[in-house]
Amino acid sequence: MSSRTPHRARSESSENAGLGRPDPGLEAVLTRVEQSIASERGVRAWLRSRSTSSRVVSMCALVAVLALSHLAWARRADWAVYPAGRLVLIAAVHALAVVYSIRVFLAPLTEPQRPGRASWVAGLLLLPVFAALLPELHTTPADQLETSASVRAAASCFFYGGLVVVSVCAVLWCADRGGRAWLVGALPAVVGAGLSAYLVLQLHCANDNRVHLLLGHASIGFAWLVLLLGLRALGLAFQRSK
């Protein structure tokens, strides 16, 4: 694999630190990442060796393809009557949040960790909640009205969104170089995947019931975030028990 990525990271390390010599701790991390990339073969190795901008653009493009495929072949049943301005606004806001989350997740290892960034990224999960609390439009097709507030309908969307989350996280993992603390590194990936799932469901599901939107759509990112935190807590408890 090309050594371009580690070499660039070392140059950025010196520039970011404003020193004549690189930080020893960061150098050790970069060396481990370089060795990891060099020992791999295949698509993941190729992705990890690309520049940050290339990886971000590639991951955002894959999410866009996922969303547009639903728009083309599995669009919401009330497409003809749903207000275009509202749909565009909701989709655009969440798309920008997805891009930001992916950029944070794939940020260079040499980029300084800004205080409060993790909290800000996690706060993006409130966007689907705000969208769900918008006034109901009552555009849900007649054949969905009977189950518009049912747990079964919400569960269907929730699990479908969960498949989207798993898919997006798997793709993001392929482009991740690693080297960060586990929780800090995984948080923006989970947030970005959860928002991607909401974006897909917004284009696919015509159920406009507020309860359905909160339980089946807006809760997906929070559920996966809780799972992430739970796994982290179990990991810490296991380490202490040794």
pLDDT in tens, 181-194: 667 789 999 999 99
Cβ atoms of 158 and 215 closer than 8 Å: yes
Domain spans, the chain: 1-49, 50-241
Cβ atoms of 172 and 102 closer than 8 Å: yes
Whole-prediction pTM:
0.84
The rounded mean pLDDT for the chain is 84
pLDDT in tens, 73-100: 999 999 999 999 999 999 999 999 999 9
pLDDT at position 8, please? Answer: 47
Query: Which segments in the chain show pLDDT lower than 50?
Result: 1-20
